Amino acid sequence: MKDIIIIGGGFAGINLARSLGGNKHYRVTLVDKNNYNFFPPLIYQVATAFLEPSSISYPFRKLFRHKHNLFFRLGELKKVVLEENKVVLSNGELHYDYLVFATGAETNYFGLQNVKKHAIPMKTLHDAIDMRNRLLQQMEQAIITQDEEERRKLLTIVIAGGGPTGVEVSGMLAEMGRSILQKDYPELKGAYGEIYLVDGSEALLSPMSEKSQRNTLEAVRKLGVKTRLNTRVKDYVDDMAILDSGESIPTKSLIWATGITARVFDGIPADSYGRGKRMLTDAFNQVQGTTNIYAIGDTCLQTTDAKFPNGHPQVAQVAIQQGKHLARNFKAMAAGRPPAPFAYHDKGSMAIIGRNKAVADLPPSLHFKGFIAFFLWLFVHLMSLINYRNRLKTLYNWTVAYFSRDQSLRMIIRPDEENLT
């Protein structure tokens, strides 16, 4: 059996691994710094306490049960030694016949050090839990303080980024402010706070259709969200979000939902990287300048697809399709057949704004909004969760939240740092 090492267990890595499960030609080891797979499109619902972390995550080892050729290694990649076909991890070494990067992307702060230090990112499950705790603690502080200016800072939230994550977070927080918070925090009745959604583009959800952009802008404004388009956050100093328009917004909460970048790894040639630190690959996802190294998902920049000459969008469907396609190519290679080039099949885009408020663009030119788009979004995301356990738990929580307009998961749970070793 040949050894395939997969670095990263997101959409791309987990689909590659599971598609090779049970294959007699390959021994597959997935390496990740977490021991679980999670579903990034729903981390904002964990962050706003509408889902618990276990609803969108699942342990790798349990996923790999009953697959004799799938293995998991908890660790972080430190270096690739090309001449030895070896990867150096934070806790040891592994040798490979084929190495696959499926490392996704991380938050890009565009060199804004104050933002990096103080803003709330929205990329990992840890980020979501931290955001939930911080927002809930700030609500408790807002009750106690006698300073009106301080209370306004605690209750005002600025969200940087008008893509799906920014829109969905702003809509969720706005609806919570209208219903749930009035019930949970009666002491804050009449208190003043705002939600701002800031984006550097001319429209929200800029990759989607003009209809979706207009519908979204109208919907978030009806929810009371204040939008700032053609505007960027350029700094965050002394509880003040400073915009490049000259406006400054007093706030204790800057949520950073804009910008991603891939990572550079020691041992991979510099000319193997392209725009956004993404690895340049050929039509078969093989990394430029290497013979047995591949890249899939957000970390991959593939310009050979005729419909996407500038590279594929960094979205879940690309990662899923590339993971499954590379698995088919590995099977073909083992059988002595030539690999096939990758071509992305765009299944459309959608975003949820609030209860019965959503937009969806489906090929070739279908557009939905409101109730229909809302349930389309629910169905697609529910079925995209990794197993039936996650789907059932999420469906239960969504059903309770939909009919009660409430949820019971708003608990501040964090480790006691003084007792950590």
pLDDT at site 284: 98
- Residue 300 is encoded by which pair of tokens? 């991959």
| Size (the chain), residues | 421
pLDDT at site 420: 44
Question: Which residues in the chain land under pLDDT 70?
Answer: 408-409, 415-421
Pairing of strands 98-101, 106-107: unpaired
pLDDT at site 416: 60
The CATH code that applies to domain 2-33+75-105+262-334 is: 3.50.50.60
Q: What are phi and psi of 51, to 5 degrees?
A: -135, 150
pLDDT digits 0-9 by tens, 297-337 = 999 999 999 999 999 999 999 999 999 999 999 999 999 99
pLDDT at site 421: 45
pLDDT at site 259: 87
The residue type of 300 is: C
Global pTM reads 0.91
Domain ranges in the chain are: 2-33+75-105+262-334, 113-259
**Of all residues in the chain, what percent carry a pLDDT higher than 70?**
98
Record: fold of 113-259: FAD/NAD(P)-binding domain (3.50.50)
